[in-house]
Structure 1
Amino acid sequence: MADVNVPPAADGDETDDERRLRDGDRFRDADRGQLLLVAGLVMAVSLVALVVLLNASIYSENLATRGIEAADGEPLEIRAAAVDGTGTLIDATNRERHDSYGSAETAVEDGITDLDGRLARTAAERGGISQLNPTGDGLREGRYVAGSVDDSAAVRDAERTRAFVFAVGEPSLPDASASTAPGTAVTVVFNRTGSNTTHEVYVYDPDDGSDEAAVATATNGTDATETCRLETVDGGRLPVDLTAGTIDGEPCPGIWPAELRGDAVPYDIEFANADGVDAEMTATALTTTEPDGPLADASSPAVYDATLRFRYRTADVRFETTVRVAPG
């Protein structure tokens, strides 16, 4: 019997097994492409969602921070108004020169009550409640001193001094230098009670031919050091603010003795080389002792300072603080 040769299948005449294998490969390729596409889409959506959430978080935090700062600023602003108003009230009351401390104290307390009412109205307009009143320490008695000085003038037993301005007529300034100041310059002496220690502030016209005024300081009258100079122009009184550290408004640091800052040993404020000099002083001292010399008739009972409790409250903020007001 003759052999029969079967020719191979022509193109397009695939067997069923070959067709199934080819279709399976195509499906697997399509599945991998779809998976890659879906995975890329998921990652893109996730990144967008993350950016949106991050931006929302930052925005919310910024809003919350701004809200807190605004809320904190309101009580601080009203507190500053309370301090400034009380300081102005104390100094204005002292300048009225009351005959007794009780009268000055009542005037300041009445003024604080009025200031409390005005601050409360301001707070209410902002949706808050405020309260200002003296603490148990309340007000402290002092002396308001304002008048001319000579070598007999003195302020006794001062525990503290504020707003101390010493003014000297420029034409009457004695000629001196730092080395000769103890014997010739008009001098403010802080004599610390019981310590055998003095601190001096000298004001003079430098004897070098310049049209200037100078200030020097010393301890126990030795080793005087010039701290500042200022050109004189109008020939009027030259104000030296000892507590603020200025001469005619210009900075002159180091005038006030460091040992007298804060709660110090009581001291007397005295003057030397002031006879025949056009000089005067203004100060508020924490003392109940009447001054000596021409200052005896130039002083009056005064309120030295006030310790106050300030409260402020809103729906979101509670603020309470104690503040001591001693202007200058």
Structure 2
Amino acid sequence: MADLRSDDRAQVLLVAGFVLAASFVALTLVLNSVIYTENLATRGADAGGGDAISYRNDVADGLESIVESVNRNGSTQPVLRDKLSRAVVSTSRRAAQFQVLRGISANATLVAVEWGTRIGQNRTAGNFTNSTVPASADVASDWTVATGVDGTRSARFNVTDSSELDQASGDPLTLRVTDGSDDWTLTLFNDGTADDTTIEITNAAGSSTCSAKKNPTIGLTAGTFNGTDCSALEFGEGVSTPYDIEVRNGRQFQGTYSLVVRDAAIDSTNYGTAPDVPFALPAVYTATVHVEYQSTSLSYATDTQVRPGGSDD
């Protein structure tokens, strides 16, 4: 057995003490580093994080309406992507112009696009029939807009002549969303005068209505009727994805309509080309934008999604 004299034991204890002290210091540094990193990631304006987040939000908010405009003015995916990419750069520069004066570098670039299909009809005297059957034929009034739909955004009706709407007792325009088991329907009609327009929403929970004066705009996915919130209007409530969108009595409507659907099957024989007949064209459903923000005290980078009509969800 080793013979440890008292001075040797003291040296061993001293070395062990130094080792433990060094370990505690190292552990403290590691823990402080973790805490600092988490704190920095969640800091607000005191670390410049508020400015970076504001820049990101400004870019995303500015692009939402721009993407809708791009969708209205493009016919192919390459054209849409090119227009959107240039719009992102332009919006990024406008949002960053005041940051440059403070020595801050900020920019955004388009990195990905999720594609959908924009369906609509732009003739103010048009109806809600398909494009292949004469308007005098009944089959033109009853047709399927899209099948296997995984999402719908920016869906709007603009009634241009309420007097052309049928009464509830007749055959009013009906939009049906169905997953094969559950249905959601919107019926649009007038009450016998040219000045009053009503929508009735029906699903598994029952029926409810909202009314407005003549020639209203209906935000199907925004839940608005002539700019006023309609609590009954929850598009597709109670219906699971994927679902089909169907029209009944499409001739009992005069006005324009548009909607953007995702992952939908489209029967091209029902559509022509914009703007004279119902159309189905490529559209941006979601755009992913990479945002970078650099200052002397902060380096911030993130991807943010722009959803045209996303506030309707």
TM-score by length of 2: 0.67
Q: 2:80 aligned with 1:95, yes or no?
A: no
Task: State how far apart, in whole Å, the 2-side matches of 1:87 and 1:198 are.
Answer: 30
CA, structure 1 residues 295+199, in 2 after alignment: closer, same or farther (shift >3 Å)? farther
Gaps spanning 5+ residues in structure 2: where? 1-43, 122-126, 130-140, 274-278
The Cα of 1:312 is off from its aligned counterpart by 1.7
The Cα of 1:240 is off from its aligned counterpart by 0.9
Within a 5 Å distance, the mapping from 1:108-147 to structure 2 comes to 108-135=84-111, 138-147=112-121
Q: 2:218 aligned with 1:240, yes or no?
A: yes
1:111 alignment partner, SS class: helix
Task: State how far apart, in whole Å, the 1-side matches of 2:225 and 2:46 are.
Answer: 39
Q: 2:232 aligned with 1:278, yes or no?
A: no
The Cα of 1:210 is off from its aligned counterpart by 9.5
2:66 alignment partner, SS class: helix
Please list the CA deviations of residues 47-101 of structure 1 after superposition, one character each: whole Å capped at 9, or x if unmatched: xxxxxxxxxxxxxxxxxxxx93694442233222211232233222211132x21
Within a 5 Å distance, the mapping from 1:144-293 to structure 2 comes to 144-147=118-121, 148-150=127-129, 151=141, 152=143, 154-168=145-159, 169-176=161-168, 184-192=171-179, 195-206=180-191, 211-219=195-203, 225-232=207-214, 237-255=215-233, 256-259=235-238, 265-287=241-263, 289-291=265-267
In 1, are the aligned partners of 2:55 and 2:96 still within 8 Å (CA)? Answer: no
1:149 alignment partner, SS class: coil
Task: State how far apart, in whole Å, the 1-side matches of 2:283 and 2:258 are.
Answer: 13
More helix by share: 1
For residue 119 of structure 2, what is the amino acid of its counterpart?
V
Task: State how far apart, in whole Å, the 2-side matches of 1:174 and 1:68 are.
Answer: 57
Within a 5 Å distance, the mapping from 1:274-313 to structure 2 comes to 274-287=250-263, 289-291=265-267, 295-297=271-273, 298-313=279-294
CA, structure 1 residues 76+187, in 2 after alignment: closer, same or farther (shift >3 Å)? same
CA, structure 1 residues 250+70, in 2 after alignment: closer, same or farther (shift >3 Å)? farther
Larger Rg over CA atoms: 1
Instruction: Tell me the residue number matched to 2:41.
Output: none
For residue 294 of structure 2, what is the amino acid of its counterpart?
R
The sequence identity of aligned pairs, in percent, is 20
CA, structure 1 residues 76+139, in 2 after alignment: closer, same or farther (shift >3 Å)? same
Please list the CA deviations of residues 8-59 of structure 1 after superposition, one character each: whole Å capped at 9, or x if unmatched: xxxxxxxxxxxxxxxxxxxxxxxxxxxxxxxxxxxxxxxxxxxxxxxxxxxx
Task: State how far apart, in whole Å, the 1-side matches of 2:228 and 2:72 are.
Answer: 25
RMSD: 2.9
In 1, are the aligned partners of 2:148 and 2:241 still within 8 Å (CA)? Answer: no
In 1, are the aligned partners of 2:163 and 2:190 still within 8 Å (CA)? Answer: no
Question: Size of the alignment, in residue pairs?
Answer: 242
1:184 alignment partner, SS class: coil
CA, structure 1 residues 305+280, in 2 after alignment: closer, same or farther (shift >3 Å)? same
